[in-house]
């Protein structure tokens, strides 16, 4: 059976969001999300991941801007310079990607250098397919650096918007939900730290985004349930290990989300019971992928139990059922 293109998966997500919002689906949401994930086009052959060739230009720009900020001599930045910086957010060099571009954007936001229109411009680029979904349906590839750092900068912008500097309008917020659900369904790269290149850490950065959205009062409960459901259904299907603290970060997000309303606890209990039931009924073929999936589950459930802010109903279920061992 042919797999769905990214556009087809996007269409299915939009329809599912609507069904959830009008109450057509709830307890079986996990099954529906899982079917979309399983039908999505993934692990295609890798195509060339292109990076900008003007590296010297961005290194010089980073130096100049950091010096101006250090002297308190900066109150604006041009759109052209913003776009140059963003072009290098996926650099393979950690000192440019992480210690350079990402860190600088944090400073620009902290010192309120960016205008409202510039924040919107950055946000729109971050949630675009070209950045958030770059090469995402191909086998493990170097665009993972861009995708992961797109996420972490996006989390920072969502926080700034939620803290009072409002610039994300309802249309953009709705697209954000669609894109994060789609990203979660498609992201298979679980690498943490790479020698010579630094951190990727996509699932930790995803936890940062989800945590910001969990506290967003402008998001309806149906969307928050869909986001939580999607990350759980994806964890079930990952074939490579999450071993760099991702489960701990995701458990923090889950705990924060459950605190918002009892309905999230009800849904999570449904998901956890279905997850356990599926393991009891499905005969798995022994392989590294199978063991990675089982130990990912163990680490995730243990992180839920050990989180001091986790809802009592979740901890009691897991402890009573002893459902966090392999």
Structure confidence at residue 144 (pLDDT) = 98
Confirm whether 179 is domain-assigned.
yes
Same domain, 189 and 262: no
Does residue 215 share a domain with residue 242? Answer: no
The three-state secondary structure class of 315 is helix
Do 161 and 280 reside in the same domain of the chain? no
Q: Which of these ranges, 212-216, 263-267, 278-282, has the smallest mean pLDDT?
A: 278-282
Which residue among 224, 248, 277 closes a domain?
224
Residue 3 has a pLDDT of 83
Same domain, 216 and 252: no
Give the tens place of pLDDT for each residue, 172-188. Answer: 999 999 999 999 999 99
Higher-pLDDT residue of 321, 63: 63
Are residues 172 and 140 part of one domain?
Answer: yes
Residues 140 and 244 in one domain: no
Q: Does residue 40 belong to any structural domain of this protein? A: no
Tell me what the mean pLDDT of segment 59-81 comes to.
96
pLDDT at 319: 94
Q: Is the pLDDT of residue 277 over 90?
A: yes
Judge if 220 and 287 occupy the same domain.
Answer: no
- pTM, to two decimals: 0.97
Residue 66 lies in a domain: yes
Same domain, 176 and 242: no
Domain end among 224, 251, 279:
224
The 3-state secondary structure of 240-267, one letter per residue = CCCCCCHHHHHHHHHHHHHHHCHHHHHH
Residue 314 lies in a domain: yes
Residue 8 lies in a domain: no
Q: What is the pLDDT of residue 285?
A: 83
- 243 and 173 within one domain: no
Residue 300: domain span = 238-326
Asked if the structure places residue 39 within a domain, the reply is no
* Mean pLDDT to the nearest integer, 29-56: 94
- Would you say residue 284 has pLDDT above 90? no
33 lies in some domain: no
The number of folded domains in the chain is 2
Contact 38, 1 (CB under 8 A): no
- H or E element, residue 199: strand 198-199
**Domain termination site, one of 163, 189, 224:** 224
Shared domain for 211 and 166, answered yes or no, is yes
Q: Are residues 166 and 264 in the same domain?
A: no
Under the banding of pLDDT at 50, 70 and 90, the label for residue 325 is low
Q: Which residues contact 281 (CB under 8 A, 6 or more apart)?
A: none
1 has a pLDDT exceeding 80: no
Residues 6+ apart with CB under 8 A from 83: 125
Instruction: Taking residues 129-156, report their average pLDDT.
Output: 97
d(CA 292, CA 305): 20
Does residue 29 lie in a domain region? no
| Average pLDDT in the chain | 96
Same structural domain, 91 and 201: yes
Residue 290, pLDDT above cutoff 80 = yes
Average pLDDT of the segment spanning 41-56: 91
């Amino acid at each position: 059976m042919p797999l769905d293109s990214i556009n087809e998966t996007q269409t299915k997500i939009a329809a599912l969001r609507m069904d959830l919002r009008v109450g057509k689906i709830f307890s079986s949401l996990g099954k529906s999300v899982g079917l979309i994930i399983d039908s999505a086009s993934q692990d295609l052959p890798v195509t060339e991941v292109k990076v900008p060739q003007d590296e010297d230009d961005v290194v010089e720009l980073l130096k100049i801007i950091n010096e101006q900020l250090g002297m308190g001599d900066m109150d604006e930045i041009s759109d052209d310079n913003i776009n140059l910086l963003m072009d290098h957010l996926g650099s393979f060099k950690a000192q440019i990607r992480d210690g350079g571009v990402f860190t600088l954007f944090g400073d620009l936001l902290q010192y309120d250098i960016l205008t409202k229109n510039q924040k919107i411009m950055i946000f729109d680029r971050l949630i675009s397919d070209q950045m958030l979904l770059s090469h995402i349906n191909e086998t493990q590839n170097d665009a993972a650096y861009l995708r992961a750092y797109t996420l972490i900068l996006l989390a920072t912008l969502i926080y700034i918007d939620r803290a009072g500097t409002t610039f994300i309008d309802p249309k953009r917020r709705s697209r954000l939900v669609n894109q994060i659900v789609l990203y979660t369904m498609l992201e298979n790269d679980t690498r943490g730290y790479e020698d010579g290149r630094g951190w990727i850490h996509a699932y930790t950065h995803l936890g940062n985004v989800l945590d910001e959205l969990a506290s967003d009062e402008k998001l309806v409960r149906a969307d928050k349930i869909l986001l939580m459901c999607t990350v759980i259904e994806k964890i079930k299907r990952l074939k490579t290990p999450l071993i760099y603290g991702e489960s701990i970060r995701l458990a923090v997000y889950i705990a924060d989300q459950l605190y918002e309303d009892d309905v999230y606890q009800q849904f999570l209990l449904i998901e956890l019971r279905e997850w356990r039931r599926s393991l009891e009924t499905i005969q798995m073929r022994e392989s590294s992928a199978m063991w990675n999936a089982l130990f990912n589950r163990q680490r995730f459930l243990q992180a839920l139990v050990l989180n001091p802010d986790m809802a009592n109903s979740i901890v009691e279920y897991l402890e009573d059922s002893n459902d966090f061992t392999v």
